[in-house]
Amino acid sequence: MEAELVSLLSDIAIGVAAVVVAVVGVFGLCTWRKELTGKAKFNGARNVMLLAFKLKADFEWATNPMTSSGEFIDRPHGEKESPDESRVLDEWHARQRRLQPLVEDLQKLQTAGWEAEILLGEDSGKSVSEAIGIFRRNYAQLATAIESYFEETYREASRTSENIDRGWLKGLKKIIYSAPSGDLLKQIDKATAQLASTLKAYVK
């Protein structure tokens, strides 16, 4: 009888221990999953913010009005280029080179943004997507302005253009050489601020 009681108590103790181990295991798993998810959100949000700040700097550099000779020293020169043609082609070359970091960083930001949309939920993901859209639209506007402006001014320099719309050219030039208070850089500031506001809760 005593042996049976001891055996019963032993079985109960083993059962209780198994339940405790199971509960602790589930709690530990949930805690680990929560920590892992939090770390993934932190890393994703930080990556998006770093790329956004880098893009902001890229836009500021791309629209900076000052150009150095080192930016077009590698441009092949034609034998019959006039001084006016060379001046336009040099500046065109420099401005196109400044677009390259924008292209690369915008692609990185888009990829990071897709990851953030998955990790951060619908509301935050939508805000991230909207901000990246602002970056993309302003890049497209800047790249188109550069192509159109220098194509037209080169035709003018080579005496092959007629009836130039000066108002249109002035508008393109204003985009290419945007002042910090200009619309393009204001839009970039807006996109960066929107991302910072959305993601600050995840990078604390």
Residue 176: per-residue pLDDT: 95
Q: Nearest-CA neighbor of 96 among 12, 50, 33, 154?
A: 154
Please write the tens of the pLDDT for every residue from 111-137.
998 888 888 877 888 889 999 999 999
pLDDT band at 22 (very low <50, low <70, confident <90, very high): very low
pLDDT at residue 41 tops 90: no
Residue 10, pLDDT score:
59
Q: Answer with the residue of higher pLDDT: 37 or 140.
A: 140
The CATH number of domain 44-202 is 1.20.120: yes
Note the pLDDT tens digit of each residue in 154-199.
999 888 777 778 899 999 999 999 888 889 999 999 999 999 998 8
* Burial readout 69-106 (b: 16 or more C-beta within 10 A, e: otherwise): eebbeeeeeeeeeeeebeebbbbbbbbbebbebbeebb
CB neighbours of 143 closer than 8 A, spacing ≥ 6? 99
Q: Which region, left, alpha or beta, applies to residue 162 given φ > 0 means left and ψ of -120 to 50 means alpha?
A: beta
Answer yes or no: are the C-beta atoms of 185 and 178 closer than 8 Å: yes
User: Residue 111: CB partners within 8 Å, gap ≥ 6?
Assistant: none
pLDDT of amino acid 99: 96
pLDDT the model gives residue 62: 96
Give the model's pLDDT for residue 87.
95
2 vs 145, more confident? 145
